[in-house]
Amino acid sequence: MFMVHRHQEPQAGQSRTVRFEGRDFGGQVSLFLVDAEPGRGSALHVHPYTETWVVRKGEAEFTVGGEQTRAYPGDIVVAAANIPHRFENVGDDRLEIVCIHANDTIVQELVQV
């Protein structure tokens, strides 16, 4: 048996990021499909599980713990559980990344700086 989550074009002014939680489809993995403009990204946050990013298009800067790295199309970045992290589109074009959450739901806590 299988289930399909069909793509829907966002309405004007709506976020282009797609949120998918595996438990809604009998899966054990959740993810975000991010499509972000230059200068946009996530706030500093933490998960009780690992997060893996796959850069599909653009240039991203990742902050994990106290370290930073740049990633480009084809790069894969992994953050350990319980380590504060974030990403930002630092390129001139749109950033497309897949944010894979090793959990059937997305559990995310913002970190105050």
Residue span of the structural domain in which 57 resides: 18-110
Give the pLDDT band (50/70/90) at residue 16: confident
Q: Each residue of 35-89: pLDDT tens digit?
A: 999 999 999 999 999 999 999 999 999 999 999 999 999 999 999 999 999 999 9
Residue 2 predicted with pLDDT over 90: no
The residues that bridge with 31 in the sheet, in sequence order, are 20, 100
pLDDT of 9:
73
Q: What percent of the chain has pLDDT over 90?
A: 80
Q: Are 41 and 89 in contact (CB under 8 A)?
A: yes
**Among 97, 33, 31, 86, which residue's Cα sits nearest to residue 59?**
97
If one compares 18 and 61, the residue with the highest pLDDT of the two is 61
Assign residue 64 the CATH number of its domain. Answer: 2.60.120.10
Within-domain flag for 2? no
pLDDT of 7:
64
What 8-state DSSP symbol labels residue 24?
A: G
Query: What domain count does the chain have?
Result: 1
